[in-house]
Structure 1
């Protein structure tokens, strides 16, 4: 016969848990709980955010009753888990030493239901979830959301009503097919269907193209573009998903203020990525150092890390959420990227660097085909490695209110502004972009600046952008323009 000594013990503070009260992730029962009730709570937690279940506690008074037969309770837990469809595989429960009613030593069985499970669990045909301390049937809307969240069905693979092949841009499709470089002469529709970008609604031959593969019996009129196809190749992606945009903002200080530079980025996802990266490059603070007579610049954050985070946000956001956008917030000391939708499937904050799961596998693979992704599934790990190589702290990953947020933090005050920060203090309350800050710093040391000087300060920025920067400084009364044409230079207005 087994003995209780063979069960692992836990150092969990049962009394502290009881003081929290029951909630979505915490419940308890006495040892003689009916199997069906136990199974229902297990299913509810498994379909929500996981949780902890205690056996050996009075349900109403939260008094510690303890267990007379720990192994019988353990068997009961496993029997309840087997009642679910599919069967719920649990970590082996542990025993926690407690003082029961009457001040005699006893034990409580601690059952852990992991968060981020890959399946959806039913009990006797019912799909259950946790709401507060209750276990209730999921509504049709909740179940549909859970199916998408767990990857059982993907929103990206659905075809919006009314969308046709005419809503796709042939030039964008051609560029994608060229990037694929597939051998053979398959029709574009055949390739897109195989890549998960089209949905077939009938079974008739593809007419008018003898290049179509034998056996593919689908009429063009019965092919529908999916949300993924419209986001990747659509003529007007925001017609179908109005919130599939990126809102980028650059704040001059360290907090959200009413004065900022912003850009609303629209279009297909590849174009959004290019535009978002350009915005970050234009507004990313750079550390400027004088080495002899030359200027050396170092971006505040590795561009490689920022590029990976942009791709991650665009590829993994929940496009089924229609009330929010991707947000890029650039501050003097950090960058935050907010993506609608919590972590998908089995991914949690604890395993996100190792877990491999995509909410939008078609979009992710297509972006990889287009060269935006080097190795599928390793993006966040590369972000961490790039930050550490640059002598910066690890990114901060957060999941709050259905939004996944990544924060890149600067190393310290010395890297949050150019090396001339003490001289620039009179301008700290003026909303300047990083390039303009560099121009003012240059002027403070050299007294005058030409367009050529400014271009050497910012070699990766288009000349027209730099011209607009200088015009803006003149219009705001910070600079005076002297001379004309090639003889033009600028000085500070004292």
Structure 2
């Protein structure tokens, strides 16, 4: 993360002054001040509908100049307890903050990254704080801002998570099958890399990161990855897995195996065509002749696979849709639970 952190710090320094979602410090790491800051900045980030805020040690707040810092979060103790542990215990709900030491070209910098409040306003020692200029007053003194934070709180949206961060423009076009995106959405392929990236960003498939680089969002990766294996397991293990057996159970011989490599949208047509090509045929008596027909209607196979991809629980790690073809049936499973009991589904059908 060092290269990205340096670019992020430099971007934050451009204004020179403290901004609403960043605090510059030299060496001051008073535990009470830091605790209130984490609460205030986490709440301010949610109010602004941003994902993170930060505290940066080693940067002069008036000029943005890197001074370096002697602050070491790993060495600091509070009442004999590790500083980070105490900070996490004093925050409710505790955001997944992280301290990182950055070897900036101009000096040693410590970066504290603070996620925005996600389920409720973050409190420190039982009190929620907010950012007002350089001050951190109690959030309860600002009921309108409290209400805005509550309005902006929302459950985690998997599609808006980051699959790969700090990616060069050329790499984005390597990771994402952008020709398929334009073909499937019925858009003309624009001329030039910049125009392509702007279109992808407009549909929230990618997002501008610091230093002129890009984040590839989960939505962009899972739909239009040129190769899911290029991403971390959280994405790559969402690939569709298909196995065909020559009998009625998994003890039978495997005749075909296919692990999906493309994003769902990019590879959907090829996957459905491949499976339909392996579906056993059955003889049906027509008006005059016997006709060989697929055991399952092609459109039914297509719709079942599409539903398995769309309606899975994407937050379950290490699992993705699986399709098993037996001599007498097709089984399609995906991670997660149905919104209603399966007994209700059967009862409704009956």
* TM bucket normalised to smaller: 0.3 to 0.5
Q: Which has the larger radius of gyration?
A: 1
| TM-score normalised per structure 2 | 0.46
| TM-score normalised per structure 1 | 0.33
